[in-house]
Structure 1
Amino acid sequence: MKEAQSKNVIVTVADVARLAGVSKATAARVLGGYGTVSDKVRLEVKAAAKALDYRPNELARSMTTGRSGTIGVVVGDIENPFFGSAVRGISDMARSAGFNVVLANSGEDVDVERAAIKTLVAKRVDGLIVSPARAGETEHLKEIGRSGRSLVLLDRAIPALGVDTVTADDRQAAEAVTRLLLARGHRRIAYVTACDTPDHLYREASDIHTASVRERIEGFIHAGRDAGISDMERWVRLGATTPDSIRSLAADLFGNVDMPSAIIASDSLIALELFKLARDSGIAMPDALSLLTFHDATWTAVTTPPVTVVRQPVYELGEAAARMLIERLKGVDAPPRHLVLPTELIERGSIAPPSR
């Protein structure tokens, strides 16, 4: 068989057919994975394609089949280890099913999310997996369905949309860790999150637009009220979006006469900054401050003390979201499904009874 053509030459189906000694239609059936041909012909066509370094024209194929073989993914913050692990789960599952992944980062900005979805739809992705920035703004998500594409929500449920969703048991996990701290004697427990309001104050659950965080705060407050603490809302601190904002929050928390004896961080990026700030302020952990965070980031196990975490099945969340989307793309017709995966509390050395 001839050598591969120059890399500057675009190899066509006709070139492969000519080298294999078959018709263009036969070569197209083999390369497109449809129709019936003999094993001998299939091997000859694939050998010719390999020799010529044939690369399929994805746009032409999508126009012919109506499918691009790609999945669009929009997440809140790709620098957050949570989303990095979830995307890995999505990519591995997609690859095993023959799909490519196109990733977009919203930065938790609904306008950026809207633009990303518009771009992905224009690129003819077959379906989308989205971790929505705001539960209350869904028109652009509804557009996905109107475009004829399937949508799966990752980590953040919006029941009113009526689409497949994969989440962790956030509310139950938050209740469990709050009760753990309460059982150790803590009564001044802060919950710190990147979610925010215009005046940076939390008043009620509807203030929080990220569904997973809203459920955690609801679980946190419910557990406190069950223990007879009526002012849990005042311990919810919002706007921990950057190191500077977390530093400002920490200065307020640590500088207060009734500083919290325990803090629950909504993610590991917040927890890491709080850990460093407590250390730099000379606050002994866990004697003067207990710390607990959602997401079992690698660093949490190697600090002194190691940090207690809610281990979320992050990779599995991504894997399950991709599986559900691929099932829809393969024709599964069923009512919207909501898969809830369990979390696990990993207790380490960062929590202890309060010293005061």
Structure 2
Amino acid sequence: MAHGAVTIIDVAREAGVSKSAAARVLAQKGSASEKTRTKVLEAADRLGYRPNQLARAMKSGTTNIIGIVVPDVAIPFFSAVLRGSADTARAAGFEVLVSNTDNDADIEDRALELLAEQRVDGVIIAPVFQPDPAAITRLCEEGMPIVLLDRRMPGLEHLPLVSVDHVDASERAVQALIDEGHRRIALVTEASQVHSTLKDFTDRPAEDVDLSLLRPSAQRLVGYLRALGRAGLDIDERLIIRSSYTTADAQKAVEAFLETGIEASALHATDAVLSSGAYRALRARDLAIPDDLSFIGFDDQDWTTMVQPAVTVVEQPRQRLGATATTALIGIIRGAAAESRPQMLTAELLVRDSVAAAARATSQLR
């Protein structure tokens, strides 16, 4: 008999007990003797019985399942987030369904519809940036508990957000370089914004602007601009290296920058993928790190401690991010009020050997 076809009636017949007795044991409700309980559980195991989650959900109103929707589970950042989320969910008695959107709005819409059909109790989502996040709004209006992960956009301001403080993350990396005497600091970013479009976010106090509505990459660019501004350093747009989100493109972008001969004594890459590409470009040019150029990457990847010198990185609390978002969602599912203010986690600067005082840097980039 196929596992999916096994019913409580089949289990009762196999165990030699009544349907009601089997139902009480399998639902863990009501009374049954230890002998009956043993017979039913052994019969269920032999037949491969699985409870009908949809029927259980319709009866109880809950499934003890949450959905997590992310752009790419293969990216180490989201893999670690998922681990933290799954561990926290299971400890609280929940299981997790994961969906990968490839940053495609249509895929995200279908994923949310499927999760709703599965009657998940709530959803954690790192949303695709789009003008009208209608699917998320619709689920919210239907009463689905939703927690945003890492990012949000206009139209979703009312939803709780758990994120790393991206502005602070890059600001502290750039400040560490400034503290070592660096004044010409290049940045590798996928953010498309230029300084003028971010001036309002950069110059006004943090409490006066909602930075969470910017993409994480733009928030990190703001952190760079703020660090330079607070140090009284001029902002040179030529030092902002634009790259699309691939290692190969980041390598090409940094190599092209190096070919220009624009003076710089330090480089900060604002993402794990961009960090890999930027480092490859520096090695391909045979630049000595940190003697020729100080370098700070993003996220503590395996390779960052396998190379010589080991790379200083901004480390995001990835597993704790997933755990915090899951705790927030389960709290809402169980009746707690949704947190109106974003929960912002602080990244850590892991200091290693890829940064030196500016006096050591020769700036031989020509």
Partner of 2:123: 128
Alignment partners' CA distance in 1, 2:223 and 2:352: 22
Displacement of 1:212? 2.7
Partner of 2:187: 191
Instruction: Show structure 1 runs of 5+ residues with no match.
Output: 1-5
Q: 1:105 aligned to 100, 109, 116, which one?
A: 100
Of stretches 209-218 and 302-311 in structure 1, the one that deviates more from structure 2 is 209-218
Deviations 1:11-31 (A, max 9, x none): 211122334454434433432
Matched, 1:166 2:162: yes
Alignment partners' CA distance in 2, 1:90 and 1:38: 36
Of stretches 261-270 and 9-18 in structure 1, the one that deviates more from structure 2 is 9-18
Displacement of 1:8? 6.0
Percentage of pairs with the same residue? 35
Task: Give the CA RMSD over aligned residues.
Answer: 2.8
Partner of 2:27: 32
Matched, 1:119 2:119: no
Displacement of 1:299? 1.6
Q: Secondary structure at the match of 1:176?
A: helix
Q: Which amino acid aligns with 1:45?
A: V
Q: Which amino acid aligns with 2:162?
A: V
Aligned length: 347
Matched, 1:204 2:208: no
Partner of 1:302: 306
Q: Secondary structure at the match of 1:161?
A: coil
Of stretches 18-27 and 205-214 in structure 1, the one that deviates more from structure 2 is 205-214
Q: What's the TM-score once normalised by structure 2's chain length?
A: 0.84
Displacement of 1:202? 5.9
What does residue range 1-356 of structure 1 map to in structure 2 within 5 Å? 6-7=1-2, 10-33=5-28, 35-38=29-32, 40=34, 41-134=36-129, 137-157=132-152, 160-196=156-192, 203-205=196-198, 211-336=215-340, 338-354=342-358, 355-356=361-362
Q: Secondary structure at the match of 1:306?
A: coil
Alignment partners' CA distance in 2, 1:88 and 1:250: 33
Deviations 1:281-321 (A, max 9, x none): 11111112221122111221111111101121101111121
Displacement of 1:164? 2.6
Q: Secondary structure at the match of 1:216?
A: helix
Alignment partners' CA distance in 1, 2:104 and 2:212: 14
Q: Which amino acid aligns with 1:220?
A: Y
Q: Secondary structure at the match of 1:204?
A: helix
Over 3 Å counting, the alpha-carbon distance change for 1:39 and 1:229 in structure 2 is farther
Deviations 1:102-159 (A, max 9, x none): 2222233334333332333233322111112327643332122123211111122558
Over 3 Å counting, the alpha-carbon distance change for 1:111 and 1:350 in structure 2 is farther
Q: In the alignment, is the contact (CA less than 8 A) between 1:133 and 1:209 conserved in 2?
A: no
Displacement of 1:278? 1.0
Q: Secondary structure at the match of 2:96?
A: strand
Q: Which amino acid aligns with 1:311?
A: E
Q: Which amino acid aligns with 1:85?
A: A
Q: Which amino acid aligns with 2:291?
A: D
Of stretches 6-15 and 261-270 in structure 1, the one that deviates more from structure 2 is 6-15
Q: What's the TM-score once normalised by structure 1's chain length?
A: 0.86
Displacement of 1:38? 4.4
Misfit runs of 4+, over 6 Å: 206-209
Alignment partners' CA distance in 2, 1:29 and 1:329: 26
Q: Which amino acid aligns with 1:180?
A: A
Alignment partners' CA distance in 2, 1:85 and 1:170: 17
Of stretches 58-67 and 78-87 in structure 1, the one that deviates more from structure 2 is 58-67
